[in-house]
Structure formats: C-alpha cells, structure tokens
Structure 1
C-alpha cells in the first residue's frame, strides 16, 4: 500500500509539470497534425508488375512503364504482395493476364488489373501508358473504344489499405515520449540536488519503495498520456488500417524502455543538462537506426554490420510488431533491453543522495 500511495503522489506531482504534458500529450498531437497537413504518406514512383503472359507484348509494355517508373517484377499471386502496398513500398501493382498476347493478336481489348491503396493517385499516368501501348498495337477501328476499356483499375478493398500513416504516428509518439524522458531524468536529479530525496530517507519507506514509486509513476504517466495522444490522433486523422490495442501495447513497451533509460542516466550522469541531453541523443539515434533498419530490404548490397546495428534499437522491434503482427519475440527483446538498462542504472537511494 505504501508503494501505491507513493506512486500516486509522484504521479500527481509529475502531472503538475507543464513539460510532462507538453512532451507526452500536446506536442506529439500538434506536431503530427502539422506533419499530416503535408501528408504523412509519401506517394512512391515505384510500381510492381505480375506478368502472367510472359510474351513479347507484355515485355514491351513493361519496358514502356519502366521509362516513367521504377519497376519491381513480382512473382506469385497479387494477394501475396499486398504488404508492399500496405507499407507504401509500391504505389500500385499491375497484373497482366496470361491471355494478354492472344487478345491483342485477335484484335480484342485486354484487361489489366490494377491494385493500389486508396491514397495512390500516381498510377493514372501508368494507365495512360498502358492505354497508349494497347492503342498502338490494335487496329484503328478497335482503338476508338480503348480509353474506356483497355485498363480496368480495381480500387482495392480494406485488405490493401496502407498502414504507413498508422505506423509513423505510433513511432513518432514513442519518439516524443523518449524526448520527454529527458524532462523526467532532469527532474529526478533536481530532486536529489534540492535535498527532497534526502528527506525521504528519514521516513519508514524502504529504498526500493521510494525509487520504485518514482519510476513506476513515470512509466504509467508516459504510457497513459502517450496512449491518449494516439487515440486523439486516431480520431482526428481517421487513420486507415489502425490497430488501437496494438498501438497502445507498443506505446507502453516504449514507456518501459524509456523508464529504464531514465534509471541508467540518473545513476551515472550527475549534471541535469547532460542527463537531459543524453536521453535526447539516445532517442534520436535509436529512432534513426530503427526506422532506417526497417527499410534495409529496399536497398541492395547493404553491409552486414548495418543490419546488426539496427537490431539494438528498440524502434526496430516496435516496428516488427506493426509489420508482422507478432508480439512474443519483440516483447521479449524489448523487455531484455529494459532489464539491461535497469541493471546498469540500479543503485541504492542513500548512495544516490550522497553523490
């Protein structure tokens, strides 16, 4: 009961801090709304093709498309490649059926299916290229009806809705949370310097109870305020393909890591400014490494060392949850990261106060 009481007292004190509310709730909401004004999703100049015809005409058509787009040649069924659309790695996927050559040879209009996300508009040029190519192959009297029939653009259903906006919203909230962790780290050091922690030693509470209440309250406050920011953004932005329970899980995992970093920083760095700066620098580095690491599969000949470095970022494993939907391994690894930081920062209150 003493621990619960102290946690509530610390939460009340932390909520009075304008910086805590600013960094964990107000700032993320405002910044992401501003970013969204310019569009969170970036339309890509890359399209995928599935050529089931493997004919002269289909090869020539793909060559024409490659003059305007970066082309990814895909295998299998289109459903097997939907993740490329959901994650905005491709702007659209075009499927050329096996009868494409035969229909053209018989002066019949072929149908080419296009699968794209709701936000994609750049595929209009690709459809013009396809229409022009088919028009050039067929006889003049047939080509009069091509503009309406040569391409059937299938506006795909919810299954192919992009989750890029949802992913970046969750990650940005976690990033701002880590920035807010610098405020908490500085505050704890100030409590020591102002002799507030020294006075708590005189109470009957144990060191574990006093320190535990500080960090548990930080974990809860960060998780709750950031989750509230996420829910507000989900409502305001009407994020497609969002998963609120998954997003809240990711935010609390991020809060766990952030709290453990605060423990390590306040243990080893005595200066308030340096402690805050160290937390910010770690947050920037972890965010950069994690987000870059998630895009490594889009590059060729990436050095193995870069792939290994990306594994140490908690953002890499938070992204894994979003991209794969699997939680067991990421939760385990993030928990181990938190334990590592907690262990590195473990200290006795009396020693901390005397330093």
Structure 2
C-alpha cells in the first residue's frame, strides 16, 4: 500500500513521503473549486496543504515522543485520509505508549490554541464568541451570520484560519475515538495493558476498534457518505493486521534466532555466473538464496525472480551472483533475540540469512515457518527426558 510514493524530504532525521493517491485528492479539490476561478482554486489548494501540514506535525508529535523512548521512526507517509508514522516498534511499557499516542493530538491542541490566541489578540473576545456561534450557535445571530458570509463569500485570511482551527479540533476529536489502531485505540490499549497482559490488551482493543469501525461504516452508509466507510475499512484492516503482528511477536518472545533457524542451507558463490546459478537452482526449492564471498561470508541474497529477470534481459551474459544480488537485504545474527530480527526484516523480506560472529553463513531464517519451529523448540524443551531403552535395560 505504501510502496508507490514520492519523497518530500528528510526533516528532523525522518523521511517524509506522499502517497500517489494524494494526487486524487488534489484533483478533487481543484474540481470542487473550479467555479470560483483561479483564485478560488488557489485558495482551496492552500487550505488543503495547510491542513496536511498540520497532519504532518501531528505525525511528528508521535515520532518525536517515540524517539524520547529510544524508538526510531522509519518514515512518515501522507495519505488522502491522513498520515501514517511508521515506528520501528511501539513501546511495550503502557505509560510510554500512552505518551506516544496522545503526543499527536497534543500537537493539534497546540495549533488550535495558537490560532485562538491569534484571534483574541487581533479581534478580542468578541471574535472568539462570533466564531463559536458560527459553528455551534443559533443561526439568527447577526454576527454569526456575518462570519459565515465572510467565510463563504470570498477567500480571506479569517476564513482560512477559522477552517484551520476547525480542522485541528476535528483531528483531536476524531483521532481520540477509541478505535484501534487510531490514537484513541492506542490509549485504550495502554490503559488495558496496565491491568492485563500486552497480548490480551491488544486483542480487546482491536475488537473494540472493529466495533467502532462497523458503527462508522453504518453511519456513512446511512448518510450516503463514502468517506467514513473508507476510513472504517482502513481502521478494520490496520487494526487486525497489527493485532496479528503483536500475536506473532508475543509468540516468539524469549526465543533466539538459533532456536528457529535452519541449521544448514545452500548458498551461491558471488562469482557464479547466471548459467551456473540456474543449473544449481534446479535442485533447490527455496525462492531466495544467500550469496557468499570467500570464507562463506554473506554479502547479500539473490531471489529466483531476480535471476530470471537478469537472464531474460540478455544485458550481460557473464553477469555474476554478486552483481545481481540484493546487498541491502537484512541478515540475522545467530544468538540475537528473534523479535529483533523480525523487526529488522520487516514485511518485505520473508527469508534472510543467519550469520555468526564473524559474518559467515550459519543458517537460514524463514519467516513463514519460524513460528512452527519455535513451537517445536519450546515443546521439546518442556518434555521430560526419556531414557534410551537400552540404557534402561543395562
């Protein structure tokens, strides 16, 4: 989902991207404001970008709070429905997750407070009352009607700031809905984790999030609004996906890579040619293999589809494994915690080589079978020792 995106830059050590679907939102705003002429379109675009600047600051609130607890942020991606800050992991300490969860909405509270302060400094208490009446007050108020007219008649700084204020208030209220994995859902999980274990807290929060998503979708269908339905679908999908991730991480807690890796595995010398690799792969069922240098030192991995692409391109018939290997692929260390290796591999790599202290190939880690291997390892460790029948006789 987040693969096709444009990099906007790197700020405070965090890379910021915009998803390709954001272009659809820009086109929609341009279409909706076309009747107002170039000035109206420009004003609509300015509002759109200002709103998503606030969304970006919201995500930086999460990221910087997580950094305080030693948790790096992989990147931030802007989507038409909001933003996503990909943390390397969520804090397992309940109060730390609570801080990270509320840090994002807290940024929007600060922005809204600054806007209200600006209104007060330039217009006094009267304009604050008028703005409040414009949103929640009776329609027969002359001042409220004047505010409405100024906001809708022509682009102005007042309408720009009032809409930005409303958006930040809505971001706080919406994100604090207890629908996991939204901020409010993470707050709920952190509170549950204070009275139960992390796995159980995640399960309960994700199921409550599903109920919230279902209610949101029903409301969207009832009022013929596709937006809430799309957001509900995203919440349901993301919540279940993270719940499965937590379930897996809790299952491997306490295991090392050595407990679940395949002890021996085939490899490809870095100087092997494409034809040699193809012939060698005829008897190997794996979809990827480690590439090794002299002394069995791992330098990367080679995927079967990469080999096929190189052969079909006919670009260099004398190319070697070292030239077409993925040198950025992660590797696992033999005796490190398994959960650390999983986090480093991410969703992109389903297999990765295991190296010893000298960087030499020690085994192979398969993410799709590691849970079974880990369960077998725990089962064998918990079984009582059985005497050999010949030893028992003697």
Confirm or deny a common fold (TM above 0.5).
Answer: no
TM-score normalized by the length of structure 2: 0.26
Q: Which has the higher helix share?
A: 1
Greater relative contact order: 1 or 2 (C-alpha under 8 angstroms, separation 6 or more)?
A: 1
Q: Which has the higher strand share?
A: 2
TM-score normalized by the length of structure 1: 0.28
